[in-house]
């Protein structure tokens, strides 16, 4: 009994502590222990008839699992622990004094860290840096994880996709990646980690946050942002890839999900050129009958992106998940449609998105059955809507899959378990075109049946809007959750013969 009482007392203390810790921490608590949310005062009177309500109810009835469901999914290979902490608070705890800022391309010491942090905090700009000294980094990471109010999360696309898949009790999930003790403890029990993937220390990514107007010494942040740094060698080298491929033999998955290619970019050209070749060769060893989904993440090097397309990563996978930045960047790197567009302005135009998706499937995919490429599916996500583009004859249940992904985006960003109509809004256009250039078809979105379908060549497009969270709590990992959910609701048609 005394044990229970002690736990209760500690919990009360902890909650009490957090409640005095400021609004962010309260949100954090609400998000993680699931206290009931109070009805929002901004609830619209006619919310029952709102478009948001109509769409959300339609999703509830129209999203159904496919007849053929996956039973075993293998996910690899980037995984880490994200620690989100107050930047100024952590640096003070490390006993460094404020001073003048200076950028460093790589960080060698606490002093470098402080100077780079001040440099970016003063500008309110996001930045990510590599910390070279392993021992010092481990000490800082430990201090960060123990800092009062630090939030510790599962990080890395593969681990996040694994976590989402593990919410389906009938699905066996294998996760390969650098899994240390802390990450292992946080992972869902259902996830199997092969012994070769376990390592003694975690790969920590430290995310130093600061608020708009926050001051340290003579530096003041013009806006809220974050400074990220790590000493992450395993993920940078994709060191788990070979183990991952080797473990598939035993595990016999019916779907493979691959991510973390983008992490190699940070190593510099010589290293990634070499490593990418090895990666392609490892991926090619995966049995041809097992579909591979590749989750892309932000890359900045055009040559690297080009290599991913041309050195055959795209053609040897069956499915790709990406967002609007990655989509446009692919077109820039490969001189595809709308490559002259420097960046999207506001909500990406559906016609342009459709043009680039079609180009990828025709140039690097299997839109022509005589092509050598395997790529037949692209799950595109942007804030306001998602599109699932598939080559005809290979995939089923696309409408449910794209809606399921959008429902997760609409739910998870607000931190809830289901769509809360009072907290979301429709931002997708209700009218758009199948292409940016002629000949094009005018298309509309029907909220009561919120999937618009169109065809071009041998490719079918399914679009559904997102109910965008008005005050998102945490958007990291949203793309991973969308892709994972979309895969759970997708099925492979079996009749094709290669």
Ligand X SMILES: *[C@@H]1O[C@H](CO)[C@@H](O)[C@H](O)[C@H]1NC(C)=O
Site residues (CB under 6 A) for ligand X? 362, 367-369, 457-458
By C-beta, is 219 or 376 nearer to ligand X?
376
What is the closest distance, in whole angstroms, from the C-beta atom of residue 318 to ligand X in the complex? 17
By C-beta, is 323 or 354 nearer to ligand X?
354
What is the closest distance, in whole angstroms, from the C-beta atom of residue 361 to ligand X in the complex? 8
By C-beta, is 197 or 367 nearer to ligand X?
367
**Set 112, 202, 420, 480: catalytic member:** 480
What is the closest distance, in whole angstroms, from the C-beta atom of residue 493 to ligand X in the complex? 15
What is the closest distance, in whole angstroms, from the C-beta atom of residue 316 to ligand X in the complex? 19
By C-beta, is 362 or 480 nearer to ligand X?
362
By C-beta, is 295 or 362 nearer to ligand X?
362
Task: Give how far the C-alpha of residue 431 lies from the chain's centroid of Cα atoms, to the nearest Å.
Answer: 28
What is the closest distance, in whole angstroms, from the C-beta atom of residue 372 to ligand X in the complex? 13
What is the closest distance, in whole angstroms, from the C-beta atom of residue 367 to ligand X in the complex? 4
By C-beta, is 278 or 368 nearer to ligand X?
368
- Could you confirm whether 196 is annotated as catalytic? no
What is the closest distance, in whole angstroms, from the C-beta atom of residue 368 to ligand X in the complex? 3
Question: What's the chain look like in SS3?
Answer: CHHHHHHHHHHHHHHHHHHCCCHHHHHHHHHHHCCCCCCCCCCCCCHHHCHHHHHHHHHHHHCCCCCCCCCEEEEECCCEEEEEEEHHHHHHHCCCCCCCCCCCCEECCHHHHHHHHHHHHHHCCCEEEEECCHHHHHHHHHHHHHCCCCEEEEECHHHHHHHHHCCCCCCEEEEECCECHHHHHHCCCCEECCHHHECCCCCEEEEEEECCCCEECCEECCCCEEEEEECCHHHHHCCCHHHHHHHHHHHCCCEEEEECHHHHHHHCHHHHHHHHHHHHHHHHCCCCCCCEEEECCCCCCHHHHHHHHHCCHHHHCCEEEEEHHHHHHHHHHHCCCCCCCCCCCCCCCHHHHHHHHHHHHHHCCCCCCCCCCCCCEEEEECCCEEEEEEECCCEECHHHHHHHHHHHHHHHCCCCCCCCHHHEEECCCCEEECCCCCCCCEEECCCCCCCEEEEECCEEEEEEECEEECCCCCCCCHHHHHHHHHHHCCEECCCCCC
Residue nearest to ligand X (CB): 368
By C-beta, is 357 or 426 nearer to ligand X?
357
Q: Which positions are catalytic?
A: 480
């Amino acid at each position: 009994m005394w044990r229970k009482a002690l736990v209760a007392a500690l919990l009360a203390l902890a909650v009490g502590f957090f409640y005095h810790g400021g609004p962010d921490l309260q949100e954090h608590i609400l998000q993680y222990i699931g206290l009931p949310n109070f009805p929002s005062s901004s609830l619209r009177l006619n919310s029952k008839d709102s478009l948001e309500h109509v769409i959300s109810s339609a999703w509830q009835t129209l999203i159904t699992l496919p007849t053929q469901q996956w039973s075993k999914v293998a996910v690899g290979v980037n995984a880490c622990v994200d620690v989100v902490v107050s930047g100024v608070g952590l640096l003070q705890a490390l006993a460094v004094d404020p001073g003048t800022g200076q950028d460093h391309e790589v960080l060698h010491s606490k002093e470098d860290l402080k100077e780079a942090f001040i440099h970016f905090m003063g500008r309110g700009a996001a930045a990510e840096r590599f910390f070279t000294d392993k021992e010092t980094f481990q000490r800082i990471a430990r201090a960060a994880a123990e800092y009062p109010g630090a939030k510790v999360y599962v990080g890395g696309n593969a681990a996040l996709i694994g976590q989402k898949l593990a919410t389906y009790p009938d699905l066996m999930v294998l996760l390969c990646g650098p899994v240390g003790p802390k990450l292992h403890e946080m992972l869902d029990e259902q996830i199997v980690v092969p012994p070769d993937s376990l390592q003694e220390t975690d790969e920590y990514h430290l995310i130093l946050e600061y608020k708009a107007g926050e001051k340290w010494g003579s530096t003041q942040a013009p806006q809220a942002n974050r400074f990220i740094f790590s000493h992450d060698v395993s993920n940078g080298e994709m060191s788990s890839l070979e183990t991952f491929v080797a473990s598939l033999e035993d595990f016999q998955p019916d779907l493979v999900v691959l991510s973390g290619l983008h992490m190699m970019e940070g190593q510099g050209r010589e290293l990634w050129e070499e490593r990418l070749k090895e990666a392609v060769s490892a991926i090619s060893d995966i049995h041809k009958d097992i579909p591979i989904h590749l989750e892309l993440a932000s890359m900045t090097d055009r040559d690297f992106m080009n290599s991913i397309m041309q050195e055959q990563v795209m053609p040897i996978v069956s499915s790709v998940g990406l967002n609007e930045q990655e989509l446009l960047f692919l077109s820039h790197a490969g001189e595809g449609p709308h490559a002259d567009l420097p960046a999207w302005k506001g909500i990406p135009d559906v016609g342009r998105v459709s043009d680039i998706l079609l180009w990828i499937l025709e140039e690097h995919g299997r839109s022509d059955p005589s092509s050598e490429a395997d790529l037949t599916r692209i799950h595109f996500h942007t804030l306001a809507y998602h599109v699932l583009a598939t080559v005809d004859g290979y995939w089923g249940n696309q409408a449910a899959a794209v809606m399921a992904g959008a429902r997760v985006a609409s739910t998870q960003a607000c931190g809830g378990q289901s769509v809360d109509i009072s907290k979301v809004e429709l931002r997708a256009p209700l009218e758009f075109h199948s292409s940016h250039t002629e000949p094009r078809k005018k298309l509309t979105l029907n909220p009561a049946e919120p999937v618009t379908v169109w065809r071009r060549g041998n490719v079918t497009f399914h679009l559904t809007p997102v109910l965008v969270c008005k005050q998102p709590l945490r958007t990291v990992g949203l793309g991973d959750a969308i892709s994972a959910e979309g895969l759970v609701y997708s099925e492979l048609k079996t009749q094709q013969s290669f």
